[in-house]
Structure 1
């Protein structure tokens, strides 16, 4: 991926239960770092991950050319939508750099706990129930350069069903992907979108393909 940051559009994909507006603070910080951010919105609960990826594929096709250098940032479920997009149309990732924020790449034990009840399954929706597997989820790892950021600020009310370290919803170990750089920050799941240091780390990866000195290596947390 070559050229200055200003020439690299960055597409932001939000997570479950959230609107595209939740990505605005991160978009502002990436714009200040020289990127041109775009926010993709989708009805996260009502359709499957594959459906969301299909919609994203069409949305990208209306704005960019396959193979065009892009930055892609997915928060939580948004990272899995990007993995499903790579399965559907890998051309988007030929020269892309991707950052995942709190994405449960290995399944979400918190979601599995919620899904034990009918009301919980309704709350998770179609896509949310797809997070309940154990082990790496069925979509491929991304073919381009990919970095993962996980939070370590857990919440006391989840301590009885979610092992630490976690961000209050997703365990650090659940965010990992093979051969992918993983960094942690002491923030919660939503805080990954609001934290200035996380935004700087994401911008650094989108520019350089690595996190450099930003964040803490996961080490034994996985």
Structure 2
């Protein structure tokens, strides 16, 4: 019975992943982005195979972790605090591997922010984020924080960093696979938070209206993102950002990728040296 259930789960994940990549091809084809993706990957079909494989692997990791108890919010350590913010339909367990890599690299002051993306809206996510930042920064006017967000979490970080209360207190901002222009996959969203990620709707408008903080900013994305498309919606479209393309992989796999972690760590190390 257990084996049969596991087979059905794996089959369901494969079908859902294949559907996402079919929509990825359709969306980017209609947007005229496939030529850029083909040039950027070198071998499109090999890149898609890697994307499909890592997307399925990430789903197998993320599904049980989403049902598990979330990570603790973090404990104060030395150095500027790093606040990790997860994306849609996830929780703080998203950062289990990434946070461990941060700590091994010498970042002892690592924290997470968890918020409800199933029944709450973006406004509630931002309200909780502001409270989390108030808690981390306290009353010290010289206190600073580094924000790192995956997917929707990157948009939460961007809007928080643009808030007048925190704009001068953000030491660095990193987004990983974030839908800066929304995502056409959100048309299939089953709740308000997901549907608000449709291009041009509430979340995209909030991000467009948020000013950038005066700090180093890094945007990392993959050309085979199976949750955020078309391609241009993964880019910030603003000056002052460093944008880096990682290897072909699935959207969720960015949380577990050594290369993506290395990109973020290299950026954060430069902040430590300043």
TM (norm. structure 2) is 0.61
Conserved? CA contact 1:6–1:34, under 8 Å: no
> Displacement of 1:68 after TM fit?
1.8
Unaligned runs of 5+ in 2: 1-76
Match of 2:137, SS state, is: coil
Number of residues paired by the alignment?
A: 183
Indicate how the Cα distance of structure 1 residues 27 and 59 shifts in structure 2: closer, same or farther if over 3 A, else same. same
Residues in 1 aligned to 2:160 and 2:184: alpha-carbon distance in whole angstroms: 24
1:38 maps to 2:38: no
Conserved? CA contact 2:85–2:148, under 8 Å: yes
User: 1:181 aligns to what?
Assistant: 242
User: 1:126 aligns to what?
Assistant: 192
Match of 1:131, SS state, is: coil
> Displacement of 1:6 after TM fit?
5.0
1:149 maps to 2:220: yes
Conserved? CA contact 1:67–1:91, under 8 Å: no
TM (norm. structure 1) is 0.74
Indicate how the Cα distance of structure 1 residues 6 and 149 shifts in structure 2: closer, same or farther if over 3 A, else same. farther
Structure 1 counterpart of 2:95, from 13, 17, 23: 23
Match of 2:111, SS state, is: strand
Conserved? CA contact 1:151–1:189, under 8 Å: yes
> Displacement of 1:7 after TM fit?
0.8
User: Hey, which of these two has a bigger chunk of helix by percent?
Assistant: 2
1:98 maps to 2:173: yes
Unaligned runs of 5+ in 1: 115-119, 154-166, 210-222
**Superimposed CA distance per residue, residues 126-171 of structure 1 (whole angstroms, 9 cap, x where no aligned partner):** 2222210249643214313211010233xxxxxxxxxxxxx11113
Larger Rg: 2
**Which 10-residue stretch deviates more, 23-32 or 65-74?**
65-74
- 5 Å matches for 1:187-198? 187-198=249-260
- 5 Å matches for 1:72-87? 72-87=147-162
Conserved? CA contact 1:67–1:95, under 8 Å: no
> Displacement of 1:72 after TM fit?
0.8
Residues in 2 aligned to 1:93 and 1:146: alpha-carbon distance in whole angstroms: 13
> Displacement of 1:194 after TM fit?
0.2
Match of 1:132, SS state, is: coil
Indicate how the Cα distance of structure 1 residues 28 and 93 shifts in structure 2: closer, same or farther if over 3 A, else same. farther
Give me the CA root mean square deviation. Answer: 2.2
Indicate how the Cα distance of structure 1 residues 208 and 137 shifts in structure 2: closer, same or farther if over 3 A, else same. farther
User: 2:129 aligns to what?
Assistant: 56
